[in-house]
Structure 1
Amino acid sequence: MASAASVTSLADEVNCPICQGTLREPVTIDCGHNFCRGCLTRYCEIPGPDPEEALTCPLCKEPFRPGSFRPNWQLASVVENIERLKLVSTLGSDEEDVCQEHGEKIYFFCEDDETQLCVVCREAWEHRAHTVRFLEDAAGPYREQIQKCLECLRKEREEIQRIQSRENERIQVLLCQVATKRQKVIFEFAHLSQFLEEQQSVLLAQLEKLDGDILKQQDDFDVLVSEEICRFSSLISELEEKNGRPARGLLTDIRSTLIRCETRKCRKPEAVSPELGQRIRDFPQQAIPLQRKMKMFLEKLCFELDYEPADICLDPQTSHPKLLLSEDQRRAQFSYKWQNSPDNPQRFDRATCVLAHGGFTEGRHTWLVKVDLAHGGSCTVGVVSEDVARKGELRLRPEEGVWALRLAWGFVSALGSFPTRLALGEQPRQVRVSLDYEVGWVTFVNAVSQEPIYTFTASFTQKVFPFFGLWGRGSSFSVSS
Structure 2
Amino acid sequence: MASSATSLTTLEDEVSCPICQAILREPVTIDCGHNFCRGCLTHYCEIPGPDPGEQPICPLCKDPFHPGGLRPNWQLASVVENIEKLKSAPPSGLGEDLCEVHEEKIYFFCEDDETQLCVKCREALEHRTHTVRFLEDAADPYREQIHRCLESLKNEREDIQGIQSREDQRIQVLLTQVATKREKVILEFEHMCQFLERQQYLLLTQLEELDGDILKQKDEFESLVQGEICRFDALISELEEKLERPARELLKDIRSTLIRCEGRRCRKPEAVSPDLGERIRDFPQQALQLQREMKTFLENLLFELDCEPALISLDPRTSHPKLLLSEDYQRAQFSYKWQTSPDSPQRFDRAICVLAQDGFVGGRHTWVVAVNPVHGGSCTMGVVNHDVRRKGELRLRPEEGIWAVRLAWGFVSALGSYPTRLSLEENPKQIRVSLDYEVGWVTFINAVTQEPIHTFTASFTGKIFPFFGLWGRGSSFSLSS
Instruction: Give the TM-score of the pair, scaled to structure 2.
Output: 0.45
Q: TM-score, normalised by structure 1?
A: 0.45
